Amino acid sequence: MEMLGLVQVFGFSVAALLSGIVDYAFYILFGFILANIVINWLPGYPSSAFFQAVYDAVRAVADPILMPIRSRIPPVQLGGFGLDLSPIIAIIGLSIARSLLNNVIIANFIGPVTG
């Protein structure tokens, strides 16, 4: 609790700080999901050590979000290829979670208590 008091002494609002953390987390996860989409479009496996590290990092963050959706919703078959809808559903879900956290929980419960 001392940390929250210290934050308020320096003129920061705890609610604004938490809202900023939620927003940054949303944009970071959004970026990893978009990077996963781009990586899946590229043919083949990464050829250099740097691209392998980037590939592994993106998959390590995006797969825990996308795999539960992929296991429940199969790809939509369009002609000769399948369209994976899991990134779209994940982005919509993250957006709804961000809105609920910022507008309901932080603004209505945390903001009035912490000031």
Residue ranges per structural domain of the chain: 2-114
Per-residue pLDDT tens over the stretch 41-96 = 887 777 788 888 988 999 999 999 999 999 999 889 888 888 889 999 999 999 99
pTM: 0.83
Report pLDDT for 69: 95
Q: How confident is the model at residue 14 (pLDDT cuts 50, 70, 90)?
A: confident
Within 8 A by CB and 6+ apart from 23, the residues are: 98, 102
Query: Residue 10 — very low, low, confident or very high, per pLDDT cuts 50/70/90?
Result: low
**Does residue 45 sit in helix, strand or coil?**
coil
Q: Is the pLDDT of residue 30 over 90?
A: yes
The torsion angles phi and psi of 96, rounded to 5 degrees, stand at -65, -45
